[in-house]
Amino acid sequence: MIQTEYIQLGQFIKLINILDSGGMVKAYLQDVGVLVNGEREHRRGRKLYAGDKVEIDEVGCFQVDRE
């Protein structure tokens, strides 16, 4: 859950404990990417808002929620 209007994709991935460090997140997004609302995304600075869905290959699907 986020407490602000949005969260950046890289921060969100770290928040859900998929990858440990910002460097790992950066490399993963550059090499593989994730699906955000059904579209492939490679930018870790992509803004995510409440209701956005993030799919990470072989990990699962996550929805951004506000507190």
What long-range pairs does 50-58 form, CB within 8 A, spacing at least 24? 50/2, 54/9, 54/12, 54/13, 56/13, 56/18, 57/32
pLDDT score for 24: 93
Q: Are 15 and 7 in contact (CB under 8 A)?
A: yes
Q: What is the pLDDT along the chain (67 residues), one digit of tens a residue?
A: 688 999 999 999 999 998 888 899 999 999 999 999 999 999 999 999 999 999 999 999 999 998 7
pLDDT score for 13: 93
